[in-house]
């Protein structure tokens, strides 16, 4: 007799982002869930997501979820993108029955930790204007001043693997000027691309400003969802990760190798 529950547990988890940013979430997932198999997809044909409309985002993430289910029979989907989560996760959850975990800026944690009473959030233009983020701010920051800063083109710089060049420096100085001129003590990295810029950001804002991102929290949440649905993989061996992109596989492999500090070979796929 085939153990269907055991087979279900062994199915992979789909993780996606518009590009390489979601790798910052994948890193934490692999630490917290070392026995799981992951399919990571970078939708680079349409990067950056931060400049897409809500309707466009819903269509894009639906295409990815359809692909994950049909091609890989995934047991769960993790939206490793703040922009896609803020604009499209409710549409995804209403359309699909499998567990879907999203990524939202760590606003609640920043509001809880601040001593100065001022926190800042940097994210894509789409996330900064989203109903979800502004609702989080309204709910958790009643007595806290919030600098909500949308950063155009910063996501693109990380896509090229440029983490400390002139272009990144110019953009960061521009967007962090308001943070430097305030008494901000916690800065939320509200895009999964931004943790790869930690060093450059910290250098500009100074050591007195603490940086927060949601990677570890998303990994813990994912583990909890797997356990609650009795689909956590209990195999004794380490899981494997498959890397896919809808863009240029050679460039993606090169940048991913740089960001993860391990050799990566990705494959190009067509979703539709």
**Three-state DSSP class for 214?**
coil
- The angle, 0 to 180 degrees and rounded to 10, between the axes of the packed helices 82-95 and 131-140 is 100
81 is annotated as an active-site residue: yes
Residue 106 contacts residue 220 (beta carbons within 8 Å): no
Catalytic residue among 81, 86, 141, 151: 81
CA atoms of 1 and 168, how far apart (whole Å): 57
d(CA 258, CA 133): 31
Task: Centre a 10 Å sphere on the Cβ of residue 94 and count the other Cβ atoms it contains.
Answer: 7
Which is the catalytic residue, given 86, 141, 151, 191? 191
The per-residue DSSP string of 92-113 comes to: HHHH--S-EE-----HHHHHHH
Residue 244, beta-bridge partner list = 41, 267
CA separation for the pair 192, 189 (Å, rounded): 7
| Assigned token pair, 2 | 């085939």
Tell me if residue 151 is catalytic: no
Angle between helices 215-228 and 23-32 (to 10 degrees): 50
Closest alpha carbon to 98 in 26, 32, 14 = 14
Q: For residues 132 and 211, what is the distance between their CA atoms, to the nearest angstrom? A: 21
- Rg over CA atoms, the chain: 18
Residues 6+ away with beta carbon under 8 Å from 182: 118, 120, 145, 147
* Residues designated catalytic: 81, 191
């Amino acid at each position: 007799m085939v153990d269907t529950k055991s087979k279900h547990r062994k199915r992979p988890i789909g993780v996606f982002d518009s590009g390489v940013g979601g790798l910052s979430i994948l890193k934490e997932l692999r630490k917290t869930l070392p026995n799981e198999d992951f399919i990571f997809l970078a939708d680079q044909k349409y990067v950056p997501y931060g400049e897409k409309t809500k309707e466009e985002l819903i269509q894009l993430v639906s295409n990815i979820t359809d692909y994950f289910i049909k091609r890989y029979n995934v047991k769960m989907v993790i939206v490793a993108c703040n922009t896609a989560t803020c604009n499209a996760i409710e549409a995804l959850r209403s359309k699909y029955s499998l567990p879907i975990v999203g990524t939202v800026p760590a606003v609640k944690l920043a509001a809880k930790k601040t001593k100065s009473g001022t926190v800042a959030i940097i994210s894509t233009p789409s996330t900064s204007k989203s109903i979800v983020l502004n609702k989080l701010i309204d709910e958790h920051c009643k007595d806290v001043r919030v600098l909500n800063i949308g950063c155009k083109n910063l996501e693109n710089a990380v896509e090229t693997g440029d983490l400390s060049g002139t272009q990144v420096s110019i953009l960061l100085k521009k967007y962090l000027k308001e943070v430097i001129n305030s008494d901000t003590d916690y800065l939320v990295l509200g895009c999964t691309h931004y943790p790869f810029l930690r060093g450059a950001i910290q250098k500009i804002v100074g050591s007195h400003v603490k940086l927060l991102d949601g990677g570890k929290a998303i990994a813990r949440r994912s583990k909890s969802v797997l356990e609650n649905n009795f689909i956590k993989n209990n195999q004794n061996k380490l899981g494997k990760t498959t890397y896919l992109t809808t863009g240029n596989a050679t460039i993606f492999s090169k940048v991913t190798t740089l960001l993860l500090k391990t050799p990566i070979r990705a494959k190009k796929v067509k979703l539709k």
